[in-house]
Each structure stands twice: as C-alpha cells, then as structure tokens.
Amino acid sequence: MRGFFITLEGPDGAGKGTQGRRLVEHLRRAAVDVLNPREPGGTSIGERIRRVLLDDTHREMAPETEMLLFAASRAQFVREVVRPALARGTTVLSERYVDASLAYQGFGRGLDVALVRTVNDVATGGLLPDLTLLLDIDPPVGLERVQAAGRAGAAGGDRLEQETLAFHQRVRAGFLQLARESPKRFVVIDAQGDVERVHREVVRAVDGLLAGRKVTS
C-alpha cells in the first residue's frame, strides 16, 4: 500500500520544527515507518539551493527567482525522496511544501497565485499531501519566537524571517485562505497555545488519517 504524505505548514515561528519532531517520535512509537526530510532541501541539489534561498545577504533576489528556486528544489525533492518513499509504503512528513510557495511567493510577494501553483504543479507532477496541518499563529507572536530563538543561539532569522510584519501578515492570510479552499486536506491548529495541547491536536489529526482511510496510488 502507498504511504501517506503529510505536511506541516504555517507562518514563521509557529513551531513546525518542534511539532514535526514530536510527531515523528509518536509515529515511530506506533511502529509507523516515517521519513522526515527537510524542505527546501532534502537532496544534495536541494541543499545547495536552500543555502542560496535563505542566505540573508541575497536581498536583491527577485520574487520570480525565489519562486523558481523553491520549485527547482521541490522537483528534486519529490523525485528523489517523496515518491520513492511513498511507493515503498513509508509515511513522509515534510515541514513545508507547495502551500508554502503559494503563501510566501504568491500572497506574500504578490506574484500571481495561479502562476505559482502552475510552476509547482510542473515541479511536483501534481503531487499533493494527503493531510496538511496548518499551525496558525499571529505573526508578531511568531516573529518574537524566532527572535528569541536567535538570542538563545538557535538557528533563526533567515532571509524570509527578516521580512516586514506586513509581509508575514499577508503570508498568514494566504495560508488561511488556502485552508478554506481545501477543507478536506487542511486541519488548522491554533499554535499560540501550550506545546502539549498543539501536539495532542496534531496527533489526533494524523492518527485519524492513518486509521480512517487507505491511500491508493
């Protein structure tokens, strides 16, 4: 049986990394074969593109360049990592995927959302997640988390995270619109609360997916 494809999305500072790690631990305790690659990245080519994309010295990067680089990394990611894993029955959990480009380059940068979708359809061969967990957070709260992580010495403050508050507000609004448009795929979770509560909601949604239906290739 084909594996499940699950994505974690949301504005910066929503806790995708924390919730992703905890979800992987939960699934492995339940004897689920799970892969948690990072995106953009996850492949040799993708990791090189990632460094260019997130380098905060590249302030001159055009929105179209940004969109195409994300799509290029994603094309390699789907071909090398996601499709082979799904074919062997592995559950793939990705923190970011196509919806991130729609939100960041479409709604955030102001590129035509239909164009961003078309480019990513080409890159991924139209592959969509079975479930998308949208960790929703008010941008000022999320950005404060990012800044706090930076002060504590953790990775933070990349080129996109350093964008204006207005940019991040457009991104959040974009994610919420995408969730409204695809309610069967998205589960929206309030990420501003307690980490344990958020984890329980994430687990409830994922356990429901794994138990409730089979995915056919």
Locate the domains of the chain by residue range.
Answer: 5-212
Closest CA to 22 of 184, 190, 206: 206
Tens of pLDDT, residues 78-129: 999 999 999 999 999 999 999 999 999 999 999 999 999 999 999 999 999 9
Q: What is the reported pLDDT for 162?
A: 83
Backbone angles phi, psi at 4, to 5 degrees: -95, 145
How far, CA to CA in Å, does 194 sit from each of 98, 117, 199, 201? 27, 34, 9, 11
Q: How many residues would you count in the chain? A: 217
**Six-digit token string for 210:** 């794994």
**CATH second-level architecture of 5-212?**
3-Layer(aba) Sandwich (3.40)
Are the C-beta atoms of residues 177 and 107 closer than 8 Å to each other?
yes
